[in-house]
Amino acid sequence: MKYFSLENLVVVFGGLRAVSNVSVSLGRGEIHGLIGPNGAGKTSLINSVSGLIPLKSGRILIDGQPIQNLPPHRRAASGVGRTFQHAEIFGDQSVIDNVLTGGFAHRQSTWLQDLLGTPGKFAAERRAYRAAEQMLDAFGLLQLRDALAGDLPFGTLKKIDLARALLGKPQLLMLDEPTSGMNDTEAQDVIATCKRIAGGYGVTLLVIEHNMRVIMGLADIIHVLDHGEKIAEGKPEAIQKNPLVIEAYLGHGSANHA
């Protein structure tokens, strides 16, 4: 069995099956793509794995350990990270504060130490700042370090979201349309950086993407959802030729082909 296993996940929204019996297996260090027309249930799937919406049924296993009954913050602590379609940035915080928050899972001071301001806490803060600055630098955001996040354009927010999530060194990182709001050059840059950092940590990626050029070049395996169900899984070349996949996109006509 692969390291990460999403088994028969079912998500229901008031009578509608947003995710219907979807199973995905991911090995460590692999990069998987998750594609499908709008409304196929991709974001709902990710939301259910990170714990923000409840699962009707199904199991989520990391190295054989079930986590589907854990609250969201405990799943995050177990190594499940994600980014958001709308970036979910902390708008009135500076860029560096946003990214620093990503390191919360690995914080080295207790809340009491934080209150009292012990030397240990200040040393930990300095280390945290260095790590966050390195991450910002990798994404070319270091000069925006002290800028107010809420003032920045959407593409930049997506990068901050990604940097923030990566700082948490998750084992499984789920990305929700990481390149939206970016032109092709930016998209390629961001993906290259993400792949490099993730590769360095051994992070497994599950990427929702609408930009076909990006995902076909990035993913080892691609899963296709339509109307909540998985209709195909396989290598990029196979998926591109899969008649079911083509029909799902052309039939509903709303995906953007690169």
Whole-number Å distance between alpha carbons of 51 and 78: 12
**Contact status: 47 vs another protein (CB under 8 A):** yes
Q: How far apart are CA 204 and CA 5, in angstroms?
A: 12
Amino acid at 15: G
Q: Which two tokens stand for residue 66?
A: 């079930």
- Whether 214 and 227 have beta carbons less than 8 Å apart is answered as no
Selection from 70, 26, 80 nearest residue 50 by Cα: 80
Residues numbered 10-29 forming contacts with another protein, rule: CB under 8 A: none
Beta carbon nearer to another protein, 108 or 183: 108
58 contacts another protein (rule: CB under 8 A): no
Interaction pattern, residues 93-112, with another protein; x per rule: CB under 8 A:
xx--x--xxxxxx-x-x-x-
In 1-76, DSSP assigns E strands to 4-13, 16-26, 31-35, 57-62, 65-66
DSSP 19: E
Q: Binding another protein by CB under 8 A: which of 66, 91, 202, 251?
A: 91
User: Rule CB under 8 A: is residue 210 a binding residue for another protein?
Assistant: no
What is the SS3 assignment for 64? Answer: coil
Alpha carbon distance 125, 89 (integer Å): 21
| 176 vs 239, beta carbon nearer another protein | 176
Asked whether position 70 contacts another protein by CB under 8 A, the answer is no
Q: Smallest gap, in angstroms, from Cβ of residue 117 to another protein?
A: 3
Told to check if 128 binds another protein by CB under 8 A, we report: yes
Residue 178 interacts with another protein (CB under 8 A)?
no
Contact positions vs another protein (CB under 8 A): 47, 50-52, 71-74, 76-77, 80-82, 84-86, 88-94, 97, 100-105, 107, 109, 111, 113-117, 121, 125, 128, 146-148, 151, 164-165, 168
